[in-house]
Structure 1
Amino acid sequence: MLLSVGALVSFLVSSLYHLPAVASPVLGRSEVPRSSLVARTVTQMSAAQLAGLAPYTQLARAAYCPSNLVSGWNCGEACRGIPGFQTTLTGGDGNAVQLYFVGYWPSQNSVVVAHQGTDPTQFLSLLTDANIIQRNLNSNLFPGISSSIYVHSGFADQHEETASTILTEVKRLISSKGATTVTLVGHSLGGALAELDALYMVLNLPSSIHVKSVTYGTPRVGNPAFATYFDSKVPMHVSILAFG
C-alpha cells in the first residue's frame, strides 16, 4: 500500500486508533525534548519547516512500497522525491514483520532506516498494535537500560524481529560509505519502530555518529521513564501528528 502525500497526511488522523495501545501522539513538534508525557512541549511548525521535512515524508511513504520496487528505488513519486538514494537492504512481509528498508542517502551522507506503518488489511500487523501490555526492553539489545523503563510489548517484539539485521547493515554502510548520520523514519507503527531503532542505534553505535529520527502519527511507545530516557539520548527527534 503506497500512500500519496495527501493520503499520508490524512491518514495521520487515523493513527488515533492507537490510543487504546497507550498512544499519545504530538502535533507538529520539532526537535524539543519530551520532559514528561503530561506537560509535553509542542511546537507549531512553520510552513518552511514542514517543507524541509518533505524528503523524510517521501522516505516514510516508500516504506509502504513492495520490496521489489524499493530495492531498485523505483516506487514512483516517493522514490523520485529522493533522487540518488541507494537501497541496500529490504525485508519484512507487511504482516508478521513490517516492511522495512535500509539504504544510503548521498546528499545527506546518511544511512536511512525506514519502517512500514500498520497495514489494516493484515491481521498480524493489527495484532502487533493490540499487544498493549508493557514490558522491559531487552538489555542485550539496549545495553544499560533501566528496569524502570517499560514499552509497548507489540512494538518491542516487532523491533526485535529486525534489530540485529538492521544494525549489521547500518554498521556496514557507515564503514563503506563514511556516513556520519543515521536517520530513522516511519509513520504510525513504523514511527514507533523508528523511535525504538533510534534509541537502539544511539546505544550501539559510536558517539561520533549522529542519530536523527523523524516520525509521523507515532503512538506512544512507552512509559514516562522511557520518554525521559529517549529524549536524553536522541535529542534530534521530530514527531509530526498533523499539518495546519
Structure 2
Amino acid sequence: MSRSSSSSLSPEQERMYASEKEENFRWLLKLTTKKSGYVLSEKDLASLDLQRELSEIGQFAEVAHGSMDPERVWAHLSDLLDDGFPLHGYTFLEGSELIQAFKGTTAQLQGYVAFRPQTGQLIVAFSGTSNRMQAFNDTKAWKVSYPLTPGEIFSSISVHSGFWSMYNGVKAAAFHAMEEAIRQRDVSEIIVTGHSLGGVMTHLCVLDLLKPTQQVIRLPFGVRIKSITFGAPRAGNESLVSCWKSRVEAYRKIHGDATFTEWSVKAFNDGVPSMPSTVLGYRHFADNPFFLFRGRLYQIPVSEKEVVNFAVDPPAVAQEGSVVPAQFPLGGHNYYGRDMEKLQRQMKWATEVGLGSSENWRDALSQKIKEDDDKWKAKHTKRGGSFSLFGSNSKEKEPSVE
C-alpha cells in the first residue's frame, strides 16, 4: 500500500500523516534491521483481554509526556475528556487521582504517580524523550557498571550511561511519590509504565522495586507488580537482564507466581527498540515481547526476542468481515494504539490558550481545533484530495507498509 494512494488511506489517516512533525524512526528500522525469518500469524495473536489492558495502561503512559503538565491534566481532567477535546477517548483516566508529579534533576525527566480507587492500582508513569538534553543523554550509549546488592553475583553487569544518569536524577522523587501513595491508599497492584525512554525508566525502577535486600521503599506484602513498556530501547547488557530475571524469580518465590507480570510492546515500523545495537552488547529484558501490527497484538517467540522487524501473515487486518487498513497502517514510534502526536499537539494548544488560568479556555481551545480543521480541509480541497508525504512531484520511492 503506497502512502500516496488516496484509496488506501482514509481522510483521517491522510490528515494524520500530513500533520506528522515528530520523529517516528521508520527510517531507522529500515536502516539497521532485517526482517525475522519467523512470520507472525494468527497462532501468535494475544488475547483481546490482554490487548485491552495494554491499551488501557498505555493511556497513562502517553499523558506522562514532558510536553504535558500532569497537575493541570488532572485538575481539568473532566473537561479534557469531553468530546472534541484532547483526552476524548482516554476513558481509563476517568476516576483516577493524581498523587504527585515529579521531575528529575538530570535533563528534567518527568513522571507522575496516580491511583485508581476502583481497581486499587497505583500507576507510576515516566515520560519518553521530550527535550534536547534528554535526547543528548539518549545518545550516551557507552556502558557503566550497575550496582548490585549484597549476595548478588553477576559478572560485568552494565547499563546505558545516559539512561542511568537520567534514572538516578529522577529516582528519589519517583520513590518518594510512591511511598506517599502507598501510605495514603489501599494499594493492591503497582503498575510501572512508560513509552520509549519512559520504558527504560520503567525497567530500572522495577529493578529497584524487586531488590532482594536494601529495598528502596517498603512494599505491602504480596502486592502485585506489573512492568509495562511501549517502544522501549535496550537498557543494558546480558548480565543486567540476568539480574532482572533473578530478582523476578526471587519475588515470585516469596509472594507467588501471579505477583509479577512483564509486558513489553514493540510496534510495526518503529526503529527505537532496535537501539542500542546488540552488536554493542545490549539486550532486551522481556523473553516474550509483543508486536503491534495494524491494530493487532502478536506474541513474539523467545527465539526472536531481540528482533523488531517482522512479516505478518495475513498482512491486513480483518474487521467486521472485510479486509481494511488498520487505524495506523504506517506504524512508527508514536502510534501505540493512539495518535500520540495529535494528543501532544492539542495539549500544547490547551496550554497556549490558558488551560486552568483563563475562564474561556474551553472556547478558545475549541476555536483553535476548529481553525486547524478548517485549514486542513482547505488545503485538502485545493489539492484535489491527493496526498503524499513526499510531495506531489517527488520521485523518491515511497516505502510499502507490507
Match of 1:136 in 2: 145
Counterpart secondary structure, 2:93: coil
In the alignment, is the contact (CA less than 8 A) between 1:87 and 1:104 conserved in 2? yes
Please name the residue that 1:241 is paired with. Answer: 266
Note the residue ranges of structure 1 that are not aligned, 5 or more in a row. 1-5, 21-42
Q: Gaps spanning 5+ residues in structure 2: where?
A: 1-15, 32-43, 81-86, 249-259, 268-291, 294-402
Q: Structure 1 pair 147/172, CA: closer, same or farther in 2 (3 Å)?
A: farther
Query: 2:108, 2:55 → 1: CA distance?
Result: 26
Residues 156-167 of structure 1 mapped to structure 2, 5 A cutoff = 156-167=164-175
- 1: distance between equivalents of 2:155 and 2:89? 40
Q: CA deviation at 1:99?
A: 1.6
Query: 2:225 & 2:137 partners in 1: Cα distance?
Result: 26
Q: For residues 134 and 74 of structure 2, what CA distance do their matches in structure 1 show?
A: 22
Indicate the SS of the match to 1:107. Answer: coil
Per the alignment, do residues 233 and 239 of structure 1 end up closer, same or farther by CA in structure 2, a change over 3 Å counting?
same
Q: Does 1:168 align with 2:213?
A: no
Paired residue secondary structure (2:95): coil
- Counterpart position of 1:51: 52
Question: What displacement does 1:98 show?
Answer: 1.7
Q: CA deviation at 1:57?
A: 0.8
Amino acid at match of 2:183: S
Change (3 A) 1:60 1:172: same
Conserved? CA contact 1:12–1:188, under 8 Å: no
CA contact (8 A) 1:128 1:155 kept: yes
Who is 2:308 aligned against? none
Amino acid at match of 2:99: T
2:227, 2:54 → 1: CA distance?
A: 11
The residue type equivalent to 2:122 in the other structure is V
Deviates more, 1:192-201 or 1:103-112: 103-112
With over 3 angstroms needed to count, the CA separation of the structure-2 counterparts of 1:82 and 1:166, relative to structure 1, is same
1:123 is aligned to 132
Counterpart of 2:197 (choices 189, 199, 224) is 189
Instruction: Give the RMSD, CA atoms, in angstroms.
Output: 3.2
Q: Distance in 1 between matches of 2:23 and 2:117?
A: 29
Structure 1 pair 79–90 and aligned structure 2 pair: CA distance change class (3 A) = farther
Q: Quick one: which of 204, 208, 225 aligns to 1:200?
A: 208
Indicate yes or no: 2:76 matched with 1:67. Answer: no
Which whole-Å deviations, capped at 9, do the CAs of 1:185-227 have from their partners, x for residues lacking one?
A: 1000010001111111122244523221110001111101111
In the alignment of these two chains, the number of paired residues is: 210
Alpha-carbon distance in structure 2 between the residues aligned to 1:72 and 1:78: 18
Q: Which among 223, 228, 231 is matched to residue 214 of structure 1?
A: 228
TM-score, structure 2 normalization: 0.47
TM-score with structure 1 length normalisation?
Answer: 0.74
Higher RCO (C-alpha 8 Å, min separation 6): 1
SS of the equivalent of 1:175 reads helix
